[in-house]
Chains A and B, each alone.
Chain A
Amino acid sequence: DVKVTQSSRYLVKRTGEKVFLECVQDMDHENMFWYRQDPGLGLRLIYFSYDVKMKEKGDIPEGYSVSREKKERFSLILESASTNQTSMYLCASYTTGGNTEAFFGQGTRLTVV
């Protein structure tokens, strides 16, 4: 059974904290991304990674950074959490070429207080 696993379902952090969201996939996929999902705004791409140590900024990278040191793991880092980063965060992975389904994690609901 293929899996994308996000480290936490729910997180509550304080303003100014450094926050790490972890995502692990077991399908040997080259590509991984992080989206945030907000009511009325749909899915907005934060960062995309197409290989180990390779990354591209998405639509809303400000306030975020990412790390991909191993193929299976893609981490999203909130350098200094702010209340406007309260959101649902979704990680997904997919392989390159062909009929390529994207597999999503269950999401992390982050609340910054």
Chain B
Amino acid sequence: QQQVKQSPQSLIVQKGGISIINCAYENTAFDYFPWYQQFPGKGPALLIAIRPDVSEKKEGRFTISFNKSAKQFSLHIMDSQPGDSATYFCAASGPSSGTYKYIFGTGTRLKVLA
């Protein structure tokens, strides 16, 4: 099974700080790299996503940085807020072995201290 490796497993940040979560993928055919946010008792929901033809995408306080040559991408949360406390999953998707795969990282539990 192809992997998406995510780190760190957990992260504690002060309010107003920057949260950074990193992911690495293996399959160069993957063409879509989303981040999902999950609050307790809920299913994950799409937060922001990037395609490999750009190196950065920003939506409000959330930014994805993408390094195609290194097969790595990261989520930056600027001015982190207590309401950002959640579990974050990176993912990579694209064609693989005749189907369209969707591979998730193992998740990062973020806690933002007030």
Contact = CB atoms under 8 A, between A and B. Distances in A.
A96 B51 CA distance: 15
Interface in B1-55: 1, 6, 9, 32, 34, 36, 41-46, 49, 51
Given A31-B100, A50-B100, A56-B99, A104 B45 contact: yes
B104 interface: yes
Interface of A: 4, 30-31, 33, 35, 40-43, 45, 48, 50, 56, 58-59, 90, 92, 94, 96-97, 99-102, 104-107
Given A45-B1, A102-B102, 5 more contacts: A92-B43, A94-B93, A100-B93, A102-B46, A104-B36
Nearest to B104: A43
A33 B44 contact: no
Contacts, number: 67
Interface residues of B, number: 25
Contact of A43 (B9, B32, B99, B106): B106
Interface of B: 1, 6, 9, 32, 34, 36, 41-46, 49, 51, 89, 91, 93, 99-102, 104-107
